Amino acid sequence: MSIQDNINALHDKLDHGNCLLVAVSKTKPVEDIMEAYDMGHRDFGENKVQELVQKFDTLPKDIKWHMIGHLQRNKVKAIAPFVHLIHAVDSLKLLKEINKQGEKNNRSISCLLQVHIAEEQTKFGFSENELHQLLASQEISNLNSVNITGLMGMATNSTHDSLVRSEFRKLHSFFNECKKYETSNIHFTELSTGMSSDYHIATDEGSTIVRLGSVIFGERN
């Protein structure tokens, strides 16, 4: 199966859920991205700033670049001029830096807040309580150069579908609860959940964006 075949097969599956497919191209060469681009695919995801910037410089400018990985504050500046959506905002400090860089670039940068939903200790993200506090605070509503469009979460890396499903379901219900905090720059329209191993569950449980790498481009080294 070619990259294009893989994307076509995914479109058939995802259409039912009205879900955006972000093709996760990390570690893959620009030729692979162009194969997807040539069939009209425009949304690509990377998890490292340096690689993201290099690919942005090389590739057509109508690509929508998604920063899906953990982002350090000192690296926001490099992607602020062009990034389409930052998926994994996990602190107010980071959000403030994104706001500052958005201001400098005269644009409003779209962000998702990452929620910690997995059992693993290592995964980044806010707890539900932390987010309730943050979303209710005056501080967040003053950040006029960020546009919060929803939440992102990663389920436990597990073959137990029922565990993964319950994590996605809980996040979806929290996402709906968050709608009460909507303001001019905070909206809850996007829920970024689902990777190659669990997107079939995520789309059942309210996902509006899936981030898929290996099912499109093959396994990474």
Taking CB under 6 A as the rule, does residue 153 contact ligand PLP? no
Tokens representing residue 36 in the block: 């997807």
Q: Rule CB under 6 A: which of 16-45 touch ligand PLP?
A: 24, 26
CB of 215 to ligand PLP, least distance (A): 6
Q: Please state, in angstroms and rounded to a whole number, the distance separating the CA atoms of residues 169 and 3.
A: 30
CB of 18 to ligand PLP, least distance (A): 19
Q: Rule CB under 6 A: which of 179-208 touch ligand PLP?
A: 195-197
Helix then strand then coil, in percent of the chain rounded to 5, is 45, 20, 35
Q: Rule CB under 6 A: which of 57-76 touch ligand PLP?
A: 68-69
Residue nearest to ligand PLP (CB): 213
CB of 66 to ligand PLP, least distance (A): 9
Phi and psi angles of residue 189, each rounded to the nearest 5 degrees, phi first: -110, -25
Q: Please state, in angstroms and rounded to a whole number, the distance separating the CA atoms of residues 53 and 104.
A: 18
User: Which C-beta is closer to ligand PLP: that of 6 or that of 47?
Assistant: 47
Q: Please state, in angstroms and rounded to a whole number, the distance separating the CA atoms of residues 147 and 141.
A: 10
The secondary element (H helix, E strand) that includes residue 162 is helix 161-178
User: Which C-beta is closer to ligand PLP: that of 8 or that of 214?
Assistant: 214
Question: Residue numbers of the site for ligand PLP (CB under 6 A)?
Answer: 24, 26, 47, 68-69, 195-197, 211-214
